[in-house]
Structure 1
Amino acid sequence: MLRWSRSLARSAEVTGRNCNRAAGTLNHKEVEKFGAMNGDWWDQNGQNSPLHSLNKLRVGYVRDLLFKTNPNSPAGLPLFSKTILDVGCGGGILAEGLAQLGADVTAVDACEDLISVAEKRRIRKGIENLTYLDVLVEDLQEIDTRFDLVISSEVLEHVEEPWAFVAYCSNLVKQDGDLIFTTINRTIQSRILAIELAERIAGLLPRGTHDWEKFVTVEELIMDLREVKFRVEDIKGMSWNPFTNEWSWSNSLDVNYLVHAKDDKAFMS
């Protein structure tokens, strides 16, 4: 395990927490809800199957993005030497995928139950370049470590005060580093597809997985990023086929979307 990650853990004062922990961006009900899924988090045919299938898209995006500045990385490890923070990692589906490509990954989540699932799997698989911490992103604000990439995937729609969450994440990006969010747009289409169809009619997701009122529009996220002096580099729609459980890039931003931004402060000075 990385020495700087051990230091990070000490700085964050990891003292052992549970899913009822109180803090600024934490929504208790959301954390409890996902903590209850810990038993089958890694079942690729279970209720988290869409998250597993999403990995091909999001891990591929990160690989292509960071490899541009890492052309001499060892064969099969395109993210070698890159440092990544995964905020809201859950049971570690995305974090593990990024670590397998050679990145030094620190993954944090508010729920002790899910961190326990992720850590047990990490130990079992012997993954040394991956560190799990049971902390919130606001707990990391005083540390000295900054990351080449901070990513938060399918989390923004589950937190309190999304604008504050964006700001906290942005503070942990290296100068000229990268910040990625994937989330769900607040549109009529997302209400129909992500909630009415996926949860209530077809039962493809557990009822109550999402709250339409908490979805974040593209415009809101762009505004929040501009507030923290990050410039948007890329916006992509993501489309999920519930019949094949496959994801693909889409020209439509009506439901799922990805936003990639870079620290713009160096260019504004």
Structure 2
Amino acid sequence: MTGTVVAGERQKFDALAARWWDPDGPMKPLHRMNPLRTGWIAKRLDGVAGKSILDVGCGAGLASEAFARLGAHVTGVDAAGEALAAARAHAEAGGLSIDYREGGPEDLLAVGEKFDAVVALEVIEHVEDRAQFLGALAALAKPGAPIFLSTLNRTARSFLLAKLGAEYLLRLLPVGTHDWRMFITPGELGAALRPTGYRITELAGMRMSPTGQWSETRDLGVNYLAMARR
């Protein structure tokens, strides 16, 4: 276990591994959100075919598989071993070659690998040492390569919608999935990135409709995507 992810968070997502790929299961919101997230990233990379992408906190591989199906060379890393086992089994069944590794981004630094893009989707709100985490992401990116993050803004509205609404009222997520105190504002994310030499160059909000479909919006008040470059 590396030093950035809270141990309880790893155990939480390990417990969900068996149903991660059930589109109507506990990860249903991520299944619905995934095309928006990965499409937004692919567009800003002018396509991902032939490019190396590191998916940090990949879980059971929703984003990793989406990028792989678009022709990217994908490495996925996660501290949750059970989730990674589900990722490997699902990729093999789908005929996809994805390099899944157990651990955190810090564990990849020792082998000196660099990637054309580094993504961390719905991860930083589960991270204990954000400075170390973002420093590792930056160190794993090739010169000029972007970093992409998606996360939750810490606002009164996100507490009502993403915490109380999603977990307790609508039961879209298991109770305890998120700790609202760990949510991060775009300003805080930008400040945390600054020591790495990266700055946020683009932000987009993500909005869920009453039917559960996700779309891009200018409203950053709940879920948002960020691209950062040196």
Fold-level similarity (TM above 0.5): yes
1:181-260 to structure 2, matched below 5 A, reads: 181-241=149-209, 243-260=210-227
1:1-269 to structure 2, matched below 5 A, reads: 22-67=1-46, 78-128=47-97, 130-241=98-209, 243-262=210-229, 264=230
Counterpart secondary structure, 2:142: strand
Alpha-carbon shift at residue 217 of structure 1 (Å): 1.2
Counterpart secondary structure, 2:75: strand
Alpha-carbon shift at residue 101 of structure 1 (Å): 0.2
Alpha-carbon shift at residue 175 of structure 1 (Å): 0.4
- Quote the Cα distance in structure 1 between the aligned partners of 2:48 and 2:152: 27
Q: Deviations over 1:13-59 (max 9, x none)?
A: xxxxxxxxx42102111111111011110001111011011111011
Alpha-carbon shift at residue 97 of structure 1 (Å): 0.2
Q: Deviations over 1:64-104 (max 9, x none)?
A: 1112xxxxxxxxxx422100000000000000000000000
Alpha-carbon shift at residue 161 of structure 1 (Å): 1.5
Counterpart secondary structure, 2:147: strand
Q: How does the TM-score come out when normalised to structure 2? A: 0.97
- Quote the Cα distance in structure 2 between the aligned partners of 1:254 and 1:161: 24
Alpha-carbon shift at residue 122 of structure 1 (Å): 1.3
Name the aligned partner's letter for residue 90 of structure 2: R
> Does structure 2 conserve the Cα–Cα contact (< 8 Å) formed by 1:147 and 1:172?
yes
Note the residue ranges of structure 2 that are not aligned, 5 or more in a row. none
Name the aligned partner's letter for residue 52 of structure 1: H
Q: How does the TM-score come out when normalised to structure 1? A: 0.83
Counterpart secondary structure, 1:175: coil
Asked which structure has the greater CA Rg, the reply is 1
> Does structure 1 conserve the Cα–Cα contact (< 8 Å) formed by 2:28 and 2:172?
no
Counterpart secondary structure, 1:259: strand
- Quote the Cα distance in structure 2 between the aligned partners of 1:53 and 1:203: 15
Aligned length: 230
Q: Deviations over 1:218-257 (max 9, x none)?
A: 111001111111122101111122x312111111111111
- Quote the Cα distance in structure 1 between the aligned partners of 2:116 and 2:105: 16
